[in-house]
Structure 1
């Protein structure tokens, strides 16, 4: 996701469900820019994620030891990142 090995304009759409949450805030716009690069002229990006403002770290999940970091975004923050990366966006 950080460096898509695809030609520019080669995709009609990208589904990014619960993927951006695995990035630090400073990495989101560069990743979105690369997604914009590989999308065709009328390509679509569908983003889904939990809402929030915090950065989370989880050490245990369902009784198992894990090491999981997640970044939660407010809608306005995510909209700003999308705009900065060159996307136009709309609410569902």
Structure 2
């Protein structure tokens, strides 16, 4: 399968902003209490299930946070520059370059997947492919945590980000009901759905979903 066209823009943009992104993105311990609690709950659910993939791991801060909670986690990101920064910051952890549309992970290999603010650059027509990859790589009973901004369907085209660097990626907001339906169609069972209202200067709602591949 040929690479989706949007991935080149995401890769090039995050390679360009990687250093400033790593400086600006919050450490997990600095997140709001609910977000920290959801990451902790995910860690509890997957800690004994086998390998866990942090997809769209960026500079590895959340990957390292999960590892500190006892999760056997590794990181994957489409940006090679992000992976370089993650490897330099956390040399004890495993990081690799890869895409959520075609994961270099075997069928049923994972006990868990974290997609933390990682799917919003994926055009909606590609989400079924991404969610099918989640289903394929999760073992029966394996748990997915998906989190990110949600809202009425919206297509955003930023031109600059993270320190003023020009970017060419696009972002997509979807309603929580649609995300849940797409997860269901991919064969995943949604067990928890939470929407946080904007706070701290943010203008966007945050949706968090816990789902699992049926036993």
Q: Would the TM-score normalized by the shorter structure come out above 0.5?
A: yes
Q: Please tell me the root mean square deviation across aligned C-alpha atoms, in Å.
A: 1.2
Deviation at 1:66, TM superposition (A): 2.2
Structure 1 segments (4+ residues) deviating >6 Å: none
Q: Identify which of structures 1 and 2 has the higher relative contact order when contacts are C-alpha pairs closer than 8 Å and 6+ apart.
A: 1
Structure holding more helix per residue: 2
Query: 2 CA distance for matches of 1:66 and 1:4?
Result: 25
Structure number with bigger Rg: 2
143, 155, 162: which one aligns with 1:55 = 155
Aligned partner of residue 80 in structure 1, secondary structure: helix
Aligned partner of residue 26 in structure 1, secondary structure: helix
Alignment: residue pair count: 92
Aligned partner of residue 160 in structure 2, secondary structure: strand
Taking structure 1 as the reference length, the TM-score comes to 0.91
Paired residues of 1:49 and 1:72 also in contact (CA < 8 A):
no
Paired residues of 1:12 and 1:40 also in contact (CA < 8 A):
yes
What pairs up with 1:1-92 in 2 under 5 angstroms?
A: 1-52=100-151, 53-61=153-161, 62-90=163-191, 91-92=193-194
Structure 1: gaps of 5 or more residues: none
